[in-house]
Amino acid sequence: MAIAISVVLFLALTGAISYFGYRRYARPGGIFEQLGGKATITMPVMDTVEDEEGGLLVSLIQQIGEKVPINPEDASLLRRDLMMAGYQTPSALPLYQAGRLLSCIAMIALGLVSRSFLTSNTVLGIVIPVGFGLIGYFVPSIWLDSRISSRHERLRLSLPDLLDLMVVSVEAGLALDQAIQYVSVQLVNAHPDLCQEFQLATLEIRAGSRRIDALRHLAERTGEPELRKLVAVLIQTDRFGTSIADSLRTHSDFMRVRRRQDAEERAGKVGVKLVFPIFFLILPSMLVVAAGPGLLQVFKYLFPMMRNSKF
């Protein structure tokens, strides 16, 4: 039984690696050779979800996800979370639902296979697959939360560079829309996530949306507090007609002060956080090294003397 499971897992892993290599490297390389080299583009390619329509497996998973029932309110919340994580295509929600369902089924199957090795109790034999299924159901949510947190961190760290370049662009004579477009083009290699969001805002403005609405949609898509503050500054500057360069420079200075204060706060918490590792890990080792030889001598000489004593 164990050999069969190992063979199945090995074949599944081999197939997944082969499919990923074909989709990610072999197929794009062949298309690139047919096209004959790089093409000059005016807007960088946005790093969204990969094209799912070309693969039979991905389209099948998408169809499975579309069949999974979901509440419209929950679907709206999930779609918002997926947008915060960077998955903005319409197929992101069905793929996520299918991934959650398949993960739950796979964990239940793993629990059914492994319960005979874990326990012989009948009640635990029922509880183990149920517990594995719950773990499989919540693992995609945990993964999505980690993706959102990491993307928020990348957006927050890339804001100072964007503000500096935007200040230079505005002072050079560009309007706010042109500055946003220029920044999204120039920083695409260094900060692709933030440039992707500004590209979408630029496309909304080109499609006829108001600048204020496009900036608000930018803040809603990301959900990052620092980016929300920047959007609020840009909206107020555009509404009241103040200097954009002065507002951006002031906000950039505020962000630098805020980051320095955050670093000082984290540095102040280091001492408190080191108490438990020192107490549970370092202090026992020091006690063993310092008091170990003395205790060995006590056990070697004092205890035999006490046993041989007449008192």
Q: Is residue 287 part of a domain?
A: no
Q: Is residue 102 part of a domain?
A: no
Q: Is residue 79 part of a domain?
A: no
Q: Is residue 228 part of a domain?
A: yes
In which domain, by residue range, is 194 found?
A: 155-268
What token pair was written down for 84? 């915060």
The yes-or-no verdict on residue 47 having pLDDT over 60 is no
Q: Is residue 227 part of a domain?
A: yes
The yes-or-no verdict on residue 109 having pLDDT over 60 is yes
The yes-or-no verdict on residue 20 having pLDDT over 50 is yes
Q: What are phi and psi of 120, to 5 degrees?
A: -110, 0
What is the reported pLDDT for 247? 87
| Cβ 186 vs Cβ 42: under 8 Å | no
Q: What is the CATH number of the domain that holds 167?
A: 1.20.81
Average pLDDT, the chain: 81
What tens digit of pLDDT does each residue of 228-277 get?
988 998 888 888 888 888 888 888 888 888 888 888 998 888 888 888 88
What is the reported pLDDT for 144? 93
Q: Is residue 231 part of a domain?
A: yes
What is the reported pLDDT for 50? 44
| Cβ 188 vs Cβ 195: under 8 Å | yes
Q: Is residue 275 part of a domain?
A: no
| Cβ 199 vs Cβ 46: under 8 Å | yes
What tens digit of pLDDT does each residue of 73-91 get?
888 889 999 999 989 888 8
What is the reported pLDDT for 45? 43
Q: Is residue 203 part of a domain?
A: yes
**What is the domain count for the chain?**
1
Say how far apart CA 181 and CA 197 lie, in whole Å.
Answer: 11
Predicted TM-score (pTM) of the model is 0.69
